Amino acid sequence: MNANQAFDVLDTIAELYPKYVITKRKVDILLPQLKQMDYTNVLKKLSAYAAAHPYPPTLSEIAAYPPTTNIYLEQMRQWKKESAQVPEETKQQFKQQLDTLFKGMSQ
């Protein structure tokens, strides 16, 4: 989320909870954390939270982060794509060499 959206989240909390005072210090602490989050999902969580609780939320109670890409899954997909291009006889030769190596290690 951008800075304007983060300010909107803080303003929404202040509107929902009139006793919640937004100070410069709170903004300085919460703004960098809010900017890492997903605006739409934070508002959804804040709405659900406000319906169930009479006191203001902590940041962790409304936190919602955007999904991250799984670099390991992407790497595995790339390897699978590359392995599909390797000829079957090369794979068989590798398997035989690996079996020979394991048999030598187990003796």
Q: Where are the domains of the chain?
A: 3-62, 71-106
Just give the CATH number of 3-62: 1.10.8
Please state the pTM of the whole predicted model: 0.65
For the stretch 3-37, pLDDT in tens is 999 999 999 999 999 999 999 999 999 999 999 99
pLDDT, residue 57, reads: 96
pLDDT digits (tens, 9 = 90+) for 74-100: 899 999 998 889 898 998 998 999 999
**pLDDT the model gives residue 96:** 92
What beta strand segments (E) does the chain contain? none
Cα separation, 46 vs 79, whole angstroms:
42
Residue 104 has a pLDDT of 83
Q: How far apart (Å, rounded) are the C-alpha atoms in residues 15 and 52?
A: 16
